[in-house]
Structure 1
Amino acid sequence: MTSDPYLPPDDIVRLRDTAVEQGLADPSLRRLLFEGILPKYRGSLPLLAAPGPQVQSDLNEMNRVERLVDGTVPLAVWLRNASDQLTDAAARDVFLKALDEVVRDSAGEPDVAPDVPTGETKEEIVFRDDTVPFGFLSGGALAGASVARVKVLPYEGGALLQPVALPHNGTGWLIAPDLLVTNHHVVNARKRTAGERQVAAPADLQLQARGSRSRFDYEDGSADDDAAAEEAHASGLVAWDEELDYAVLRLTGAPSRPCLRVATEPLTVVSDTPVAVNIIQHPGGEPKRIALRNNLAFDADERDLRYFTDTRGGSSGSPVLTDAWTVVALHRGTRRVSDVSFQGKSTAFVNVGTQLSAIMEHLREHSPQVHTEIAAAQSELARRARPQEV
């Protein structure tokens, strides 16, 4: 689907020059750089004799395509593949910065203020017991059953977006038996253009929610697994907020799986004592993955939680969980920052999630019925978790 370019011409030239300097223009690597992109699309691209112009042509073509019929963004996949081939930190950073921009724009992700102190240093954590109870593993498996890949088709004016409505990927999870939480920008299903967010009209937003498909138990890449995974439909969007970037969808029929526990108070982080968090996600709409243990929350306030971890487009809407598998934040965005050292690395991803306590407070004020329903489900979870009296 042709759309406004993701990157300006100067960025494309910088990527081409870096690719040539690092040997990525070698024709033998072209197939590797297109790994994960539909072969039919790759076969439609012009073929040139000279390596440098070929890379330039490929980048220009992909830069004009919003996404393919399977929901993938070809430029994002190509940039990720290219960065994986590089060991030079400066060159790799050129591709990763471009990748971050493409991923944010393609998802319509709102800006996340990168208010990270420059020069901040985090030491290796080696002087405390970092083991967890063995039950941590079974708890994670149970929590993962409540997490789904979400696909949303864009509507405009009451009809599927023309000329072709292509799916946007995200992650969602159960907060009550038939209520699924994800990001507002996932349900909004619009890319950013020239740095500006496109916002779906309220009626179209509801159509997109009702047309969404959430797959639970999508855990490996086989076609059989994808076809067999449980798919939930939604009857509508019952609560949302653009600023906090959350959306609550009503699923048609309660899925046969538990909901996740949510924190009632904001997670606090003491200076120089990061807290380990865990993120269950569907990066890029791919099978379920989990980021464990070394994903440290290093800063927090009443609304936002900031942490280092590995996420990608499609991870938006993932639950950020403590080691007790309680959701403390709703993952909403990522930034790559410079001049921040994390466990010996000169650069790191800074991720931002909305504190669940802030979302619950917003629901209590603006959607009291939904808040009451969630609170009742959470109370039932707590009751079942208490030891039975003899």
Structure 2
Amino acid sequence: MTPEEFLQHVAHATEREDLEEFERLGHYFEQGGAQGHPFEPDIHLHGQNPDDPQEANVAASAANAWARGYRLSQFRKRMRAGYTGPVLVSEGDSWFQYPWLLRDTIDNLMEPFAINSLGAAGDTLSNMLAMAEYREAIAEHSADVFLFSASGNDVLGGGDLATLLHRYQRGMELGDILRHDKVEATLARIEQGYMTVIREALAVRGSLRVFFHGYDRAVPRRNGKWLGKPMGELGIPSGMQALIAGHLIDLLNQRLHRVANRFPGRAHHVDCRGRVGTSVGSWYDELHPRNPGYARVAALFEAQIRQSEEIAPPRPVPPMPFELDNGEPVTALDRALERMEAPEEAIIDNLDSAIIGAPRGTHLTAADLQILDDYQELLREANLPDKDRRLRARRHMVPEDDERAFERILGRSNLFPVNFLSRGAAKAQAVAKIQLFVRGGIPVGSGSGFLVGPGLMLTNNHVLSSRQAASRAKAIFNYQDDDSFQPMPTQTFDITGDVFFTSDRHALDFTFVSVRMDNDRGETLDPFGSFTLIEESGKAVKGEPVSIVQHPRGDRKSIALRDSTIVGVKGDFIYYSTDTEPGSSGAPVLNDQWLPVALHHRSVPHPDKPGVWIANRGIRISQIFRALREAAAAGDQDALEVLRLLGADEGDGAAVPSTRPLRPREDMFIPTLDSSLPVDGTVGVSEAAFAVDRWDGVAGYDPDFLSETIALPLPEGRRNVREVNGRPDLPYKHFSVVMHEGRKLAMLTACNTDGTRLKRLRRSGSWRLDPRLPQAAQIDNEAYRHNDYDRGHLVRRVAPMWGSEDDARFAMADTFHYTVCAPQHARLNQGIWLELEDYILDWAEENAAKVSIFTGPLFRADDPVYRGLVQVPADYWKVAVAETPAGLRAVGYLHTQKNLIPTVDEAFGDYRTHRVPIHVLAELSGLDLSAVQGFDVAGGGFEAMAAPREVRGPEDIGL
């Protein structure tokens, strides 16, 4: 049975909750696989080569999927059979999930308890934090107890025990061998991770009890991969090795005991030291107990759980009858299955000219031989035939202020502008880990991907090959360490497959796929930016360095920075020597201008050394565009949509001549220049303006929308109002904008929202200037590029999206005008202000109510000037007027720190939103809000004296 077939059977068995099938499938596992992680099973599938690291990775994924599905089926059946005891959720590494060969901790605990097990052998604490599956499981099952096991792979995952130790010298004691600074940094990182997990779990369910452990004192073995071998290579005597391993375990347990003390009565450290034993015979390998040891660890967990909760053993309940699902089996699991035969990723061996003409080993496939032939042909070439042409194309692709760019491309200079690093760090935010799942929510495998347009990601076909696979995948951003080497809070977004365009893995091996623009926590994709894809050729020149931002082995984001060069360009592919590992597939290959030159997809094998890799290969961006153009010309709607999201026109992609003069010293490096040089094919965030007649017959804000007339609020004498065709407002579909003549931003937006007819369409749209105003009277994209400012919608995108679907799409497009936004710091736009707008819309929809919403900035003389373009407002106000059974109700809100927190000096700090009386907003804004003041819920209550009330959740919106 192939790995793909095995996983199909696992998915089918999970769907049917067929425990007998799981038992049968378990017999395909055998002992003796090559371990890829320290806390990972020594296991492989029957028929696989146990010494092949690639096949060991396949076996690890298959084993985790099998165990996850088996336990999920057991949990579901037990809950349906009337289980009345405490519900447990578990997350952890191989001490909590060691598939088939050993009866681990959770296997033992599943006898007395119902446990939804999320563990995965070989998992890391950082990955558990990134996925945070435990939050959803705790909430879904109203869990009473959360079991947690982690940190082993975070310490030893790279085989890096040696980095914590000094080389042994005669006379050293234990304390002399430890590198105390490295040990402390490692323990601090683990402690921070545990604190985050516990806080998140308790935030989901306040009555939860959390139990975690820190392993027993492991016993090193001679040449043991994770303990004995690294210590032996440092010359540490065997008699000291057990002392060192035990001391490190003691330090970890002491740190975790301290973590538990910070959550008294809620978090519990289960001290497993001494439960397994000190003899080699008590341990299955260097890091895993034998079955009796696991049973003793589980008994300790059970005793502490029952003691803390004072839970009596559950009463036996006769099983309830149920029917198996006899429907059709699941088809085409997703690319996680095909990943089992994915092209190899590898650390690249030193390039050796001897490989030219070397004998070919029998380990090479036909595809490998073709790739190797292409690569060796490039090595034979002294220069690329089209090098001069490619150099000419590059001249317009370098920053204006980087005069030495061409010298570096030709290998004559290593000098860089210092912003090279900051620009790279900003671009790297657009790279995400793609987590793959099979049916039943079982994670299996991962890849890399990167945003290339609004809600559009590029990755490999062998990562995501179908809409079905895409619909079960997620994009995880910020899965990386911060400047203090602490894990950053991750943000996870659904990959939807609404837009999906792919090329077969044996052809160009790329996939464009849509990503949901926001997630369930109110976070948006906007802060992560995107890479610009340039269609024309010439972005890569032989000998030029390239970098790859990637998630190797599905781990935290890494970068291979300028440590390799382009070997050559041949056909659809670029060859280079950057290091990669499994999980790097789908990463961008970047030149020194941080432009993607290729999509990474596989490695080049050594001709006669199995498991040795001599280069990497990526798919050229220009060839990806070629495939898109061909499909679009044939009428493929997904290809057309991808081109639109990329900002590419629908023509044939022909280059436009450039008349730009040479930059200083460019002529030194380009001896022959043609008069028709291609230009940069990039398109900014802005799209062409609509025609002026778009709004013929559009009335804008309707003052008679509610049961009583609410006039458009304006300043006295229309002071500072920029009139258009005699009107004080710009009318859009279901809303209006009143522009400030001097500040070039909206002073007021007024929107009618019908909660009975809302259409929540998928987010789409590009920002545009309004043709009814001169361009100089609007703030365009220059104020938002390469900074922390969001284009903050003053009219929430969904608010005017009601009526027919055509009306809703018309209104959504209208909200993407620069007149309808203002530069809002990300912490403002994506925090409680966004949540407040959602609360109001949710309230209107749930109560089938009509609401008129007025929003605007507070313009102050001391607002900071940004880039000489715009004064950025620090404060924003909002008034919601709602139709209720008791009549109209109006509530005023102020998002500020200057007006309400006068001790804070920094312009953009800890923003908060408060409810305030509407008469206060009228005074601050200078607008006539008298039409709504009579309906103000503040009335004579606590707000009447201008005392603010902070908005913390839906219960505070006041409607």
TM-score, L = length of structure 1: 0.63
- For residue 458 of structure 2, the aligned residue among 173, 177, 181 is 181
2:525 is equivalent to residue 255 of structure 1 = yes
Query: Counterpart of 2:614?
Result: 349
Query: Counterpart of 2:429?
Result: 145
Rg (Cα) greater in structure: 2
Contact 1:332 1:353 in 2 (8 A): yes
Q: Secondary structure at the match of 1:278?
A: strand
CA 1:71 to 1:351, structure 2 compared with 1: closer, same or farther past 3 Å?
A: farther
Which consecutive residues of structure 1, in runs of 5 or more, have no partner in the other structure? 6-32, 46-54, 88-103, 189-204, 341-346
User: What does the per-residue CA deviation read over 1:107-133, in whole Å, with 9 as the maximum and x for residues that have no partner?
Assistant: 52394522222794899x997212322
Percentage identity across aligned positions? Answer: 25
User: What does the per-residue CA deviation read over 1:31-53, in whole Å, with 9 as the maximum and x for residues that have no partner?
Assistant: xx8472435x35x89xxxxxxxx
Contact 2:36 2:56 in 1 (8 A): no
CA 1:261 to 1:72, structure 2 compared with 1: closer, same or farther past 3 Å?
A: farther
Rounded Cα–Cα distance in structure 2 between residues aligned with 1:235 and 1:373: 15
Amino acid at match of 2:340: S
- For residue 645 of structure 2, the aligned residue among 359, 362, 373 is 373
- For residue 446 of structure 2, the aligned residue among 160, 169, 176 is 169
How far apart are residue 304 of structure 1 and its match?
0.7
How far apart are residue 295 of structure 1 and its match?
1.4
Contact 1:297 1:307 in 2 (8 A): yes
Query: Counterpart of 1:196?
Result: none
Rounded Cα–Cα distance in structure 1 between residues aligned with 2:51 and 2:411: 52
Which consecutive residues of structure 2, in runs of 5 or more, have no partner in the other structure? 6-33, 65-119, 124-152, 160-224, 234-337, 345-366, 383-408, 518-523, 632-638, 650-681, 687-780, 787-866, 870-959
| Greater relative contact order (CA < 8 Å, ≥ 6 in sequence) | 1
Amino acid at match of 1:260: F
Rounded Cα–Cα distance in structure 1 between residues aligned with 2:473 and 2:417: 37
Higher percent of residues as strand:
1
Query: Counterpart of 1:128?
Result: 412
Contact 1:2 1:64 in 2 (8 A): no
Q: Secondary structure at the match of 1:186?
A: coil
CA 1:141 to 1:71, structure 2 compared with 1: closer, same or farther past 3 Å?
A: farther
State the superposition RMSD in angstroms: 4.5
CA 1:338 to 1:294, structure 2 compared with 1: closer, same or farther past 3 Å?
A: farther
In the TM superposition, 1:209-358 aligns within 5 A as: 209-220=470-481, 225=487, 228-236=489-497, 237-242=499-504, 243-253=507-517, 255-256=525-526, 257-267=528-538, 273-337=542-606, 349-358=614-623
User: What does the per-residue CA deviation read over 1:285-329, in whole Å, with 9 as the maximum and x for residues that have no partner?
Assistant: 000000111211111034111111100110000000111101111
Q: Secondary structure at the match of 1:235?
A: strand
Rounded Cα–Cα distance in structure 2 between residues aligned with 1:232 and 1:58: 34
Rounded Cα–Cα distance in structure 2 between residues aligned with 1:219 and 1:122: 40
TM-score, L = length of structure 2: 0.27
Amino acid at match of 1:263: I
2:342 is equivalent to residue 108 of structure 1 = yes
Query: Counterpart of 1:24?
Result: none
Contact 1:274 1:297 in 2 (8 A): yes
In the TM superposition, 1:53-92 aligns within 5 A as: 62=56, 65=59, 67=61, 68-69=63-64, 70=120
Rounded Cα–Cα distance in structure 2 between residues aligned with 1:276 and 1:338: 25
Rounded Cα–Cα distance in structure 2 between residues aligned with 1:105 and 1:336: 18
User: What does the per-residue CA deviation read over 1:46-90, in whole Å, with 9 as the maximum and x for residues that have no partner?
Assistant: xxxxxxxxx97999x9588252534869xxx99x968x98x9xxx
CA 1:263 to 1:376, structure 2 compared with 1: closer, same or farther past 3 Å?
A: closer
Rounded Cα–Cα distance in structure 1 between residues aligned with 2:445 and 2:558: 18
Contact 2:576 2:615 in 1 (8 A): yes
CA 1:309 to 1:368, structure 2 compared with 1: closer, same or farther past 3 Å?
A: same
Amino acid at match of 2:646: I
Rounded Cα–Cα distance in structure 1 between residues aligned with 2:579 and 2:410: 21
